[in-house]
Amino acid sequence: DWAARGARVFALDFELGPLRLLSTLLRQGQASVPRWRHGSNDYLSHVLRNPGAKGAAVLPIAGDALGPPLGAGGLRVASAFNLLDNVDQPLVLIRQLHALLEPGGTLVLMTPYDFVSRCTPPEHRLGEGIRVGDDPDPAAALRALLTGGFPELAPEVCFEITHERESLPWVLP
């Protein structure tokens, strides 16, 4: 936990609901959220617990990841979980995350590549609009994008991939 180690941590989200939930977790160490019960018309109360988060130095910020309200080059680590497939332009997101990082900074990405038309049009999707040759694989397109394989789209982006895992279970309630 970066905040527990004394790092400044910013939590950016476009919607206020997740930021309120985070604030409650930080203040109280737990929060109750409604969880839809599959196959029914009702919700169950689900308690999220994170005892390590209570009092942690995390600053929730409402903002757009495609135009974040943070200064360029000021972060040692930037992460995006379940975000690449939930923005209008994943390429812009990668460029913005790269710009936020200090030289030699670390980028942590997690995505199920579950692109939805209302969020990401096909021409902007990794593996569809952004391809490595004829390969429709979104992981291959992301890998090429991150390692400088698309200089015409993102000339400034060039990371060294140190860890990569595929086929992990992806469950979001």
Q: What angle do CA 167, 172, 173 make, to 5 degrees?
A: 150
Tell me the pLDDT tens digit for each residue of 152-170: 988 899 999 999 887 777 6
Give dist(CA 138, CA 84) in Å, integer: 11
Tell me the pLDDT tens digit for each residue of 57-102: 788 999 999 999 999 999 999 999 889 999 999 999 999 999 999 9
Q: Report the amino acid identity of residue 6.
A: G
Q: Which of 48-57, 97-106, 124-133 shows the lowest mean pLDDT across its residues?
A: 48-57
Give dist(CA 22, CA 49) in Å, integer: 11
Q: What angle do CA 128, 139, 102 make, to 5 degrees?
A: 110
Residue pointed to by tokens 């409650």:
24
